[in-house]
Amino acid sequence: MSGTTDAPPVRRLADWDDGRLTELARTHGTPLYVIDLARIRENCARLRSAFPDADVRYAAKANAAGAVLETVKDAGLGVECASAGEVVRARRAGFPGDRLHYTAVNPPARDLDRVLAIRAEATGLTITAGAVDTLDRLAERGYDGRLCVRVNPGVGAGHHEKVRTGADATFGVPYDRAESVVREATSRFDVVGIHAHAGSGIDADQLDRHRELVARMGALATSLSDIDLEYVDVGGGFGVPYRETEPPLDLSAVAAATRRELADALDDPKGAPNLAVEPGRYVVADAGVLLTEVNTVKPTPGSTVVGVDAGMTDLLRPAMYDAYHPIRPLNGDGEDVPTTVAGPICESSDVFCTDRPLPRVERDDRLAVGIVGAYGYEMASHYNTRPRPAEVAVDGDTSRVIRERETIADVLATEPDTDRP
C-alpha cells in the first residue's frame, strides 16, 4: 500500500481523533508516542509524486522504529543511515543492500567495522564519506566498493543554527577541494555519487539557499563529467509547519526548482547524473503525537503552571532548539488561560511551552503534543534515570505497540551487579 497524494499536505494536531487518543492513553499509559503509519504512506506518496525521476531516500535518524522503516520500504523509498545501528535496523526492516546508504560523520572504528561486515552480505550498499581521513580508514580496511563523497557546499539552512550543516566544516570535504578529492578517490573506490545537505527544517523563506546548494553541486558534477557519476544527492531538510498559522511547504515547487537548478548547472543535462534526495522530517513529523497526563496544576501571578508526566527526556526539541510544538487538551474546550506546560525533570529548560493560551485543565487530564514523529522518540534519554516511553503505531482501525515502555530495571540493566557494603 503506497498511500495517496490526495491527503492534505500537513496533518494538524486538531485533525487527530480525541476519542481514539484518549483510549490509547488509557490502554497504554503515558507518556505515550503515537505514530500513524497511514500518514507516513501518504507523505511518501507525495514525495515520490513530486520527485518522480529522483531516488528518494528516507533519513532514518528522524524515526528509526522498525514499523516506520518497514512502512517506508514498502512505500518504495530507499534509506539513508547515519550510524551502524541504523544500518542494522534498516536490514532488519528488509532493505536490500542496493537501497541502503550509510552516511557517517566522523564514524567510530566499531561503526566502520560493523557496516563493512554487513556489506559483505548486503550487496550494493553505498558508503558516503565526508573526510579524506575517512577514505583512508576505509581503504585500510580493504574496502573498495561503492562510495559517495560528501561535500561541504558552504551553504547552510534550517530551522535552528544547530541543524544548519551545509556551511559547518564538520560536514563534508571543502567545496574548493571536492573535485580533487573525488578524482583521487576513484583510484581506490567505485565512486558513484556526490552528496551535500544544507540543513534540517528548511522552509519557504530559505529555498534560495537550497537552490544555491543544488546549483553548486550541479557545477561540481559538470567538472567531474568524465567520471560518469550515478547521482547527485542534494540532501533533504524539507520543512514541516509546526505552528498552526504556518502554511505547508509547496513540495512540487521545491522539486521543480531543484530539477531546474541542477539542469541549469550541468553542461549536458540529458547525460547528467540522477537526482537523489534524503527527506526525513517530511516523512514522519506530522504522523506522530505525544500523549501526556497532567499531575500538577499550580496557579502563579503570571501563568498557570501545568506539570505533566512527559519531559525533556521524552521530547528534547523544545529544550534543545526552543522548538514550538502545538499542544491541546484531549476533550478540553474551556476558556484559554496563559499556561506553562512543564515536565518532571530538574531543569528550568524542561518546558514544552511558556505562557501559551491554552484551555484550562485539571489534574489527571491528558494533553496531546503534535508534530513529534520526527526527532521525538529518537532523541529520548535516560537523564534523571527516566525510562523511555512506549510507542504505539496506528494503521486504520488497528493499533500495536512497536516500542515497549521501559522500566527503571531496564535503565539499570546495563550496570553490572557489585558487592555492596
Q: 309-345, pLDDT tens digit by residue?
A: 999 999 999 999 999 999 999 977 778 999 999 999 9
Is residue 176 within 8 Å of 160, Cβ to Cβ? no
- In angstroms, the CA 390 to CA 348 distance is 25
Best mean pLDDT range from 144-158, 184-198, 245-259 = 184-198
Q: Give me 231's grid cell.
A: 547521482
pTM, 2 dp: 0.93
Rounded average pLDDT over 333-358: 94
**Is residue 38 over pLDDT 90?**
yes
pLDDT of residue 343: 98
Averaged pLDDT score across all residues of the chain:
91
Element housing 139 (H / E): helix 132-140
pLDDT of residue 420: 52
- In angstroms, the CA 240 to CA 1 distance is 24
User: What domains, with CATH codes, occur in the chain?
Assistant: 37-283 (3.20.20.10), 286-412 (2.40.37.10)
Catalytic-residue membership of 353: no
Rounded average pLDDT over 395-399: 97
pLDDT of residue 160: 34
- In angstroms, the CA 407 to CA 124 distance is 39
User: For 257-267, how does the pLDDT look when each residue is reduced to its tens digit (9 = 90+)?
Assistant: 888 888 887 76
Residue whose C-alpha is closest to residue 22's, from 365, 381, 418: 365
For 87, 200, 280, 388, 391, the CA distances from 63, given in Å and listed in that order, are 13, 14, 8, 15, 11
pLDDT of residue 269: 66
Q: Among 81, 148, 346, 353, which one carries the catalytic annotation?
A: 346
Q: pLDDT band for position 156 (50/70/90)?
A: very low
- In angstroms, the CA 194 to CA 214 distance is 11
Q: pLDDT band for position 165 (50/70/90)?
A: very low
pLDDT of residue 3: 72
pLDDT of residue 238: 87
Dihedral of the CA atoms 162, 167, 173, 179 (nearest 10)?
150
pLDDT of residue 209: 76
